[in-house]
Structure 1
Amino acid sequence: MPARRSLSAPPHGRGSTLSTTAEPMKTTFRDLGILPETAEALESVGIVHPFPIQEMTLPVALTGHDVIGQAKTGTGKTLGFGLPLIERVVVRADVDAGRATEEQLTESPQALIVVPTRELCTQVTNDLQTAGKVRDVRVLAVYGGRAYEPQVEALRKGVDIVVGTPGRLLDLAGQKKLDLSRVRSLVLDEADEMLDLGFLPDVEKIITMLPAKRQTLLFSATMPGQVISLARRYMSQPTHIRAAAPDDTGTTVANTEQHIFRAHSLDKVEMVSRILQADGRGLAMIFCRTKRTAADVADQLTQRGFAAGAVHGDLGQGAREQALRAFRNGKVDVLVCTDVAARGIDVEGVTHVINYQCPEDEKTYLHRIGRT
């Protein structure tokens, strides 16, 4: 049964709005018109059928239109914006296949993805490298907390898509190490988080360095006023795409169960230990508000015999990545973290998310529990 779609003009006559009630259907990525090489790369890792946000975004984005994508955390936004970028960059394989000319090749980045956190930066980069593998699309992650030299060296050798955090992107562009003059597609991922972290001025500076004629894709789980005004300023007649399932009325993915336990602060770790002994528990993430609490809870759980790791801002970037790797590989099955890990960390098999300390606002809560 095809997805029901309604196309309506939004107020102020800006672009169009596309809402859908997605019903189970078996479209494949090949049906959506992506290059056979890209489809082959995805199929090699078992990705054949698109999620609703991907299925709706791709046909619009592949034509070069601006898109505002609104979908819950954990619904596959990365490929929704990543595939159009991979399709639009011109690489050596396209010349060999007769789809492009030698003159269209460039060593400068042709697409830029701006993300709020380092963790999300590495994840988006990995997803894009997977999808672009057969065509050998060069994707580079640039973020702080890591040495400049390898990033500068990679840029010098030539890159097709750059994924980066605002600070490091501005640094490299300011030092003339990063040439943004050839960028034809820009993606702002998790725009509401960039706003919360105070990155919007940096993002605007980056946008002013890009060619005026380009495609812009903006993704955000929520649409606060400043994000809307950013879209109005820098996008041209964007199509607003919201993806949701027909029975899905809440702001969380429907199959997430939520429970509240009341406990004295001295009993919290004991209570968490009990929850971690639940039948059928897979990987678990425990969110704390402060770096100190995260480190403390991880230590106490380790003393109780749990394989726990920690991810928070006081750890160096190397230690953060090491803990995440151990969590992904299952060496550590409990990850205690601050909100640096609340977004964009996509680990298979997370069955439990525990809010050890509740966050200040509902958006952060939503992103935390979206990790399951």
Structure 2
Amino acid sequence: MRLRQATLTTFRDLGVTPEIADALETEGIVTPFPIQEMALPLALTGQDLIGQARTGTGKTYAFGIAMLQSIGKPRKNRKKPRGLVVVPTRELAVQVSEDLVTAAGKLGSRVLTVYGGRAYEPQIEAVKAGVDVIVGTPGRLLDLVKQKHLDLSQVTSLVLDEADRMLDLGFLPDIERIFKLIPAQRQTMLFSATMPGEIVALSRKYLNRPTHVRAELESGEGEATPQVRQIVWRTHRMDKIEILARMLQADGRGLTMVFCETKRACDMVAEQLDTRGFAVAAVHGDLGQGQREQALRAFRNGKIDVLVATDVAARGIDIDDVTHVVNYDCPTDDKTYVHRIGRTGRAGRTGIAVTFVEWEELTRWKMINQMLGLEFTEPEETYSTSPHVYSELAIPEGTKGVLPHANRSRAGLSAERIEDLGETGRVRTRGRRRDEREERPARTPRQRRRTRGGRELAESAPVERPEVELVDAQAEETPAIFTTDEIQAAAEPRRARTRRGAASSAIEQALAEAPEAPVKRARTRRPVAEVSEAEAVEAPVRRVRARRVTTPETEPAVAPVVAPVVAPVVAPVVTPVVTPVETLAERAEAPVVERPVAQPEPQPSFLETPPPPPVRREPERIIPASPFSVIFQSPDLASDDDDIAPSAATERKQQRRQARGGGNRRRVG
């Protein structure tokens, strides 16, 4: 931290020891700020303090110098800590430790930083080796105490930095446990830029007659930094990224911090800015500690110039040359707004703070504006093409939302080495940036191997394809001599087992092998001569018991016998075709012609290539024209002489009549 405010007082005049004063002068810190000038004389006497000052006014040295001077030089037999600083975030813990190490450069005080997200072993070893001051977050401090590696029984000075933020994050139960672990006789100091009522209640409970030191203007609590030029615009959600991209190309812009409300919004803004050519990194709670520290180091070293973060980085982060702060999402309250814009204009410098307010956030912004006494009750409606955007931020005319390739001179986040901190907890990943995607090696083409039977084939070897597949592929040995029957069996195609075609093929085979038999003449009341051929063909075969009517024309004819055809086990009902009587009679009178027996053809040698198997045709399926058509009709076994069976209703009527008649006879008798 560089304190450049010119005053007539020096640290030596405030009672600071020469070792600490020389260490500060070596770093260029000579003159104190008002909060240091007001708080150091009281803190050096051992009184409890409540310090309140704007961000960037040196509150860390206000309590750090008093703590280091009260502890004194380290001793060989002193291993337990004498000073304890509790902070809400990991980044703030690192920064406070760096400032304390700078102030204790010539004293030789041992300062240790403990916070979550890092391995326990290095911190435990450092505690066992002995420390003078511990700076840490409440969670990791209580973990080390619970594991009996850290003893706070000798702490004489306790500091709560950014106390209001710790209460917002829900650290009040942990802070109360820490108060119970340290001795009652101690010096307690609370420092923050804003002091809500909860801090005052906490001070009444745990502080001993504290003195409230307030280095603020008379206009009100939480006054914004006067060195910061504030701009508030009413923007549209879909146009904010375009305005931001053009703002980042303004003349004289240095490092820029962009604050978003959610972690997802941080990743989205960082990804879009990276696509537009800016050197950007994100910092939020879902990233690992190594990634967060990598982004902050790259931002401090100038390898990236845009840092997109949540309110995790809104407290205590002191980075030089931050010229612009952008509230991409409207802050939730006035305290958050003060801490966000306090990242610029620090230590006497000037900066620019731009706030985007959407239409839905106007009510929230009006409350913030009223609490801070600002002059932006009605923010100006702004778009990326508005002329006042270019004039107020000194953006060159014709600037678009993409950074030209000639201006992309930053090394990027990948140029900063990420440390292996032995992180604990779940594994977190960061989206790949543009430069990382370009360095990804090209994918090698897939190598395919030609194999047969599990063996690789040479590239130059011809591929042999058999013309005819063997019927029995499971045979291991081939006989030396083939018979004629075996050759014929091998040449015949094998039938595939199917469910639907099995029954139909069996019926066809049975019908083909059955001998032709004459069809028995059906019994009918009219003469056979009156039966036409069309009726004989259409009529189904059924056994009918009817009276025989003989005529002179039909007496000599002999009634043929119908030979039943035995169907397979499961076969559908097939309607046979009845041949007319005249055709059967003519066929009976026709002479029998003997057919010549075909001589067997000479069988080919087994050495010759067998001919290809014939193509098997599927038999036509019998599909009825309508699903409701009658395919099978049961035979009528009744005759004309049989009586019709009475119905159930008729039987009941007869029973009633019999019962009624029997009762009358009994009465008469």
TM-score (norm 2): 0.50
1:49 aligns with: 31
Please tell me whether residue 135 in structure 1 is matched to residue 107 in structure 2.
Answer: yes
Return the letter of the residue paired with 1:201: P
- Displacement of 1:221 after TM fit? 1.8
Q: Measure the CA separation in 1 of the matches of 2:115 and 2:221.
A: 36
Conserved 8 A contact 1:110-1:184: yes
Conserved 8 A contact 2:115-2:139: yes
Per-residue deviation, residues 73-120 of structure 1 (Å, max 9, x unmatched): 22110000100011011324xx7xxxxxx8xx5211000000000010
The residue correspondences of 1:134-283 to structure 2 (distance < 5 A) are: 134-244=106-216, 251-283=223-255
1:13 aligns with: none
Distance 1:201 1:248, change over 3 A: closer
2:55 aligns with: 73
- Displacement of 1:246 after TM fit? 7.5
Q: Measure the CA separation in 1 of the matches of 2:256 and 2:194.
A: 25
Please tell me whether residue 360 in structure 1 is matched to residue 342 in structure 2.
Answer: no
1:348 aligns with: 320
Q: Measure the CA separation in 1 of the matches of 2:286 and 2:223.
A: 31
1:315 aligns with: 287
1:258 alignment partner, SS class: strand
Conserved 8 A contact 1:112-1:187: yes
Match of residue 284, structure 1, among 223, 237, 256: 256
Return the letter of the residue paired with 1:58: L
| Percent of paired sites with the same residue | 63
1:337 aligns with: 309
Distance 1:328 1:244, change over 3 A: same
Q: Measure the CA separation in 1 of the matches of 2:218 and 2:164.
A: 25
Q: Measure the CA separation in 1 of the matches of 2:266 and 2:218.
A: 38
Q: Measure the CA separation in 1 of the matches of 2:26 and 2:219.
A: 32
Conserved 8 A contact 2:7-2:32: no
Select the structure that is richer in strand: 1
Q: Measure the CA separation in 2 of the matches of 1:366 and 1:28.
A: 29
Pick the structure with greater CA Rg: 2
Per-residue deviation, residues 250-283 of structure 1 (Å, max 9, x unmatched): 7111111111222221111110011111111111
Q: Measure the CA separation in 1 of the matches of 2:44 and 2:224.
A: 28
2:165 alignment partner, SS class: helix
Runs of 4+ in 1 over 3 A off after TM superposition: 245-250
Please tell me whether residue 82 in structure 1 is matched to residue 64 in structure 2.
Answer: yes
- Displacement of 1:249 after TM fit? 8.4
Q: Measure the CA separation in 2 of the matches of 1:248 and 1:197.
A: 25
1:261 alignment partner, SS class: strand
1:163 alignment partner, SS class: strand
1:11 aligns with: none
Q: Measure the CA separation in 1 of the matches of 2:217 and 2:23.
A: 28
Q: Measure the CA separation in 1 of the matches of 2:102 and 2:217.
A: 27
Q: Measure the CA separation in 1 of the matches of 2:221 and 2:267.
A: 36
Q: Measure the CA separation in 2 of the matches of 1:358 and 1:54.
A: 32
Q: Measure the CA separation in 2 of the matches of 1:339 and 1:167.
A: 19
Mark the runs of 5 or more structure 1 residues left unpaired by the alignment.
1-22, 96-101
Return the letter of the residue paired with 1:371: R
Return the letter of the residue paired with 1:172: L
Mark the runs of 5 or more structure 2 residues left unpaired by the alignment.
345-669
Q: Measure the CA separation in 2 of the matches of 1:371 and 1:222.
A: 15
1:116 aligns with: 88
2:113 alignment partner, SS class: strand
1:35 aligns with: 17
Distance 1:258 1:219, change over 3 A: same
Q: Measure the CA separation in 2 of the matches of 1:90 and 1:106.
A: 12
- Displacement of 1:142 after TM fit? 0.6
Conserved 8 A contact 1:248-1:254: no
Structure with the larger RCO, 1 or 2 (CA within 8 Å, 6+ apart):
1
- Displacement of 1:26 after TM fit? 2.2
2:62 alignment partner, SS class: helix
Per-residue deviation, residues 130-178 of structure 1 (Å, max 9, x unmatched): 1101111100111001111111110000000000101111111111111
- Displacement of 1:225 after TM fit? 1.8
The number of residues matched between the two structures is 340
- Displacement of 1:305 after TM fit? 1.3
Conserved 8 A contact 2:52-2:216: no
Conserved 8 A contact 1:52-1:244: no
Return the letter of the residue paired with 1:53: I
Q: Measure the CA separation in 2 of the matches of 1:116 and 1:249.
A: 22
Return the letter of the residue paired with 2:101: Q
Return the letter of the residue paired with 2:91: E
Q: Measure the CA separation in 2 of the matches of 1:248 and 1:206.
A: 32
Q: Measure the CA separation in 1 of the matches of 2:222 and 2:49.
A: 23
Q: Measure the CA separation in 2 of the matches of 1:74 and 1:202.
A: 27
Match of residue 269, structure 2, among 290, 297, 300: 297
Conserved 8 A contact 2:35-2:53: yes
- Displacement of 1:360 after TM fit? 1.5
Per-residue deviation, residues 26-78 of structure 1 (Å, max 9, x unmatched): 21111111111111111111011111111111000000011110111221100
1:327 alignment partner, SS class: helix
Return the letter of the residue paired with 2:304: V
